[in-house]
């Protein structure tokens, strides 16, 4: 298979960040970035080839001129069960490098959580999924519990919802 070069454009959804990091690349929202890959090349070229191939099936990216059909985005959830599925989706799919990024992403959902009537039992489930990821990031960033607590406070949480 020959070397390929494609322009990849990140297209964020309503609550998505303005940029994402993927495979060592930073993609700014709505700004095409050329990626060169080769399935038989160096490790970087192989990774770039994989990014190009995976971006083709990802609704948050446009590959090439943007005229290929795209899968429709999921609608915003309207109830607690839908919010839990939505939450699990972004928790699983998004790349977070710091507790700050993870907590900021959660905080952006505050209005959506209220609209979906997310209650104590739902938040307990959210906490069960969120806490291990947060702990992992805090450990990787060598942050103490007090530092993580300060991040929560900076995002308007004096008390955790779970």
85/140 same-domain check: yes
User: Over the stretch 93-114, which tens digit does the pLDDT of each residue have?
Assistant: 778 899 999 999 999 999 999 9
Q: Tell me the whole-structure pTM to 2 decimals.
A: 0.57
How many separate domains does the chain show? 2
User: Looking at residue 69, what is its pLDDT?
Assistant: 45
pLDDT more than 90, % of the chain: 70
Does 139 have pLDDT greater than 90? Answer: yes
58/85 same-domain check: no
72, part of any domain: no
110/50 same-domain check: no
58/84 same-domain check: no
Task: Please give the structure tokens belonging to residue 56.
Answer: 């083709």
25/84 same-domain check: no
125, part of any domain: yes
Task: Pick the closest to residue 104 from 60, 61, 137, 67 (CA basis).
Answer: 137
User: Over the stretch 18-41, which tens digit does the pLDDT of each residue have?
Assistant: 889 999 999 988 889 999 999 999
Residue 107 belongs to domain spanning: 80-154
Does 14 have pLDDT greater than 80? Answer: no
User: Over the stretch 62-74, which tens digit does the pLDDT of each residue have?
Assistant: 998 765 444 455 6
Rounded to whole angstroms, the Cα distance separating 143 from 99 reads: 9
85/56 same-domain check: no
Rg (CA), the chain: 18
120, part of any domain: yes
Task: Give the distance from CA 123 to its chain's centroid.
Answer: 20
10/36 same-domain check: yes
97/53 same-domain check: no
């Amino acid at each position: 298979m020959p070397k390929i070069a494609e322009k990849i454009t990140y297209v964020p959804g309503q609550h998505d960040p303005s940029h994402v990091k993927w495979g060592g690349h930073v993609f700014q929202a709505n700004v095409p970035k050329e990626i060169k890959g080769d399935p038989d090349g160096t490790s970087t070229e192989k990774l770039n080839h994989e990014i190009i191939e995976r971006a083709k099936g990802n609704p948050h990216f446009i590959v090439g001129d943007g005229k290929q059909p795209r899968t429709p985005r999921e609608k915003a959830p309207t109830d607690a069960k839908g919010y839990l599925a939505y939450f699990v989706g972004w928790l699983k799919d998004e790349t977070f490098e710091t507790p700050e990024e993870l907590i900021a992403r959660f905080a952006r959902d505050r209005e959506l959580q209220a609209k979906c009537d997310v209650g104590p039992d739902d938040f307990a489930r959210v906490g069960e999924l969120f806490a291990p990821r947060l702990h992992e990031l805090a450990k990787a960033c060598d942050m103490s519990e007090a530092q993580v607590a300060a991040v929560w406070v900076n995002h308007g949480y004096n008390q955790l919802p779970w």
